[in-house]
Amino acid sequence: MSTTKYQVRRYINDNFIMGSGGTPFTDADSLLDLHIVDSTGILELILFLEETFGIQVLDAEMVPENLDSLNAIEAYVQRKHQAKVAA
């Protein structure tokens, strides 16, 4: 598991599942479909991503394709870092 996925999974477990062994989820599972994160939770997750990974999530990027699973989040963070390096 990548460092990005590990950090995000830990954040989700600590803040949304509350470490109670709640809903198990895979890297590809939809966080919204499993009701792990709701719309308010997505905003909290975005703040976490911005603070932890030093990225800025633009309004147009707040879409499920970027934020709905650990796989999507990891790919999104990588793209943001690559764009930052290229700039």
Tens digit of pLDDT for each residue in 48-87? 999 999 999 999 999 999 999 999 999 999 999 998 888 7
Q: What is the C-alpha separation between 65 and 74, in angstroms, rounded?
A: 11
pLDDT in tens, 6-58: 999 999 999 998 755 667 899 999 999 999 999 999 999 999 999 999 999 99
Structure tokens of 56?
Answer: 């800025």
Both tokens assigned to 3: 């460092």
What domains are defined for the chain? Answer: 3-86 (1.10.1200.10)
The per-residue pLDDT for 4 is 94
Q: Whole-model pTM?
A: 0.90
Largest Cα separation within the chain, whole Å, is 42
Show the tokens assigned to 13: 């477990």
